[in-house]
Amino acid sequence: LHALEPGAVRITGGFWGERQAAGLAAIKNGYARLEEAGNFHDLQLAAGTVEGVFRGPFVIDSDLHKWVEAAGWQLGNDDDAELRAMVDHVVRLLVAAQAGDGYLNSFIQVTDPEARWQNLREGHELYCAGHLFEAAIALRDGAGDHRLMPVAERFANLIVRDFADPSTGRCGHPEIELALVALHRATGEVAYLDIAERFLRRRGGGEWGAYYQDHVPVDQASEMVGHAVRQLYLCAGVYDLYVERPDPGLLEALRRQWRDLVERKLYVTGGTGARHEGETFGDPYELPSDRAYAETCAAVGVAMMAQRMLRVDGDPLAAEVMERALYNGFLAGLSLDGSKFFYVNPLSSRGEERRSPWYRVGCCPPNVMRTLAALGRYVATRNDDGIQLHLYVDAEVRTALAAGDVGLRMTTALPWDGAARVEVTRSPGEWTLTLRRPAWAGSFEVSLNGGGLSLPGEAGSVPIRRRWEAGDVLDVSMALPVLRLRSHPAVDATRGCVALQRGPLVYCAEGVDNSGSLHDLGVDPGAPVRAVEGTPAIGSATDLVTDGTALGAEAWAGDLYRADAPDELEGARREVRLVPYFAWNNRGPTDMRVWFPETPVGG
Ligand SMILES: [Zn+2]
């Protein structure tokens, strides 16, 4: 399956429209945060227009590049004069800071020009360059502003020259590879694809080790290892190379790594990268809830890899994982109002976590911004036969099939209610519209122009081939039962526990809704769980999600449980209130947990 062209999917409202609005607020706030963090100052130092001391960490430019990328895609969604003015200032800073030969990295230029390309393992120079390339493309294809493309191309041409020796070059933090493939696609320059392939194929010599994914060549990899974000960006780059230069060995490696991720290293939230130490993947099934690292950037990486694996063969599991990451592990990284972020996303908290407006290493905030601004890329794909819809969101889709132009308008009450409507607004004749029957849907009924369709009964792809005409309407009705999820029994931390999901949303309990401790509660496997409509629980901090659905689950309260008098269990029952995981920690620091034992605890 092919990705749709930039701008083909425009989010028009609903749940993700609200999240994009929060993302826009975050982008505008982010401009001030970049200024405070020294991003502008450090570029001005590189340009020689101010004097002073370099302020940022060595990777600081990448935060600004990702912010520009977010702004570029966002301006494509909705033009905004204030944001354009911000972008204009940043573009001027970048143009001025670029060295005469095309090099651009404020840290190296200011602190030690002699150190250029001298520490590829730790220096992140190529990583920062990759984010610059992505920013330039987003600004051109989103905002219609071409001014960073010459900056990106001059820098890329320098990289092609500086790494002409095939025995040199690769970056300790992958990202340049997928960005060079993107720049190749954006310009047609084959040298960018060649150097991307070189950087990928150069890995595996072993001298840097598994932390940097240098322990094995990319076509022989079988596990997700080392630094989680690096591994996920690397896999995205390998896939992008595979699309341009299909080598079955690359795809087989990705399939092995994907299975390792999904079957052994993925949290129920779609987060990954269990360990704080080194921001790395844990061992297989090492998925602690309270000590989960699950960096927001890693959830972005999961969505990026899932979206690519989905394109290999339309695997519905990949769509499930992509959606799981986006609605849960990723979205928890942004506060409801768009003002604060999470870097680390545990599944259990004793109230220590605080959202922050920015971070010293500010990777996650602009990663959230650029992902939200470009959310449309996750919604649909196409092939020669037609269009495949993977996420039900409020959106307009406009793309071209071989037969001609297609237009779709989607509206939905998801994730709170399981109704979705797909209207055909433009059609070239006969083609296949493929719906997704999500695994979480308790039922899946589709009517076409008011008449019921008979469709397969399993989760997965639901292709509907016909002569589509403008005005055709598909109404999709899905039941959203509360699902009781259990982890793989090899996951020590959550064995014997249950997590609750409704629709695509994983739920958690917060202390602020539940008196007493959350950490000695058990959910009764036999007791009902109720959906509580229109709860104020989520919206009380902000009005952004006022129509959200909470859950009420009967639980044993462990502090009242007496091992010597189990009959008294009845008296210890109380209802636990749960809210969507993405919305947690919007009402101040509080206890939280996702997984609940299915047996009474305490005593
Ligand atoms: Zn991050």
Q: Which H or E run includes 26? A: helix 14-37
Structure tokens at 214: 């240098």
Hey, is 255 helix, strand or coil? Answer: helix
Distance of CA 472 to the CA centre of its chain: 32
Q: pLDDT per residue over 372-382, tens digit each?
A: 999 999 999 99
- Distance from the CA of 585 to the center of ligand 1, in angstroms? 18
CA of 301 to the centre of ligand 1 (A): 10
Where on the phi/psi map is residue 78: left (φ > 0), alpha (ψ -120 to 50), or beta?
A: beta
CA of 296 to the centre of ligand 1 (A): 6
Residue 472, token pair as written in the block: 């055709």
**How does the average pLDDT of the chain come out, rounded?**
92
Cα-to-centroid distance, 60 and ligand 1 (Å): 12
Average pLDDT over residues 396-400: 97
Q: What is the pLDDT of residues 553-602, one digit of tens each?
A: 777 654 444 445 555 544 467 778 888 999 999 988 899 999 998 876 55
For residue 275, the CA-to-ligand 1 centroid distance in Å is 14
3-state SS class at 209: coil
Q: What is the pTM of this model?
A: 0.95
Q: Write down the pLDDT at residue 64.
A: 98
Give the residue-averaged pLDDT of 355-375: 96
pLDDT exceeds cutoff 70 at 546: no
Which residue, 183, 119, 175, 199, is CA-closest to 151?
Answer: 183
Mean pLDDT of 224-235: 98
Distance CA 426, CA 444 (A): 25
- Residue 520 confidence (pLDDT) above 90: no
Whole-number Å distance, alpha carbon 280 to ligand 1 midpoint, is 12
Give me the residues paired with residue 409 across strands. Answer: 396, 423
- Helix and strand numbers, DSSP H then E, in the chain: 15, 22
**Strand spans (E) along 339-450:** 348-350, 380-382, 386-389, 395-401, 404-412, 419-426, 430-437, 443-448
**375 C-alpha to ligand 1 centroid (Å):** 18
Q: What is the pLDDT of residue 565?
A: 52
The Å distance, Cα 343 to ligand 1 centre, comes to: 6
Question: Residue 536: is its pLDDT beyond 50?
Answer: no
Distance 279 CA to ligand 1 centre (A): 10
The rounded percent of the chain whose pLDDT value lies above 90 is: 83
Strands 386-389 and 430-437: parallel
Answer yes or no: is pLDDT of 537 > 50. no
SS3 150: helix
Report the DSSP beta bridge partners of residue 168: none
Question: Distance, CA 175 to ligand 1 centroid (Å)?
Answer: 13
Cα(97) to centroid(ligand 1), Å: 25
Name the more confident of 567 and 111: 111
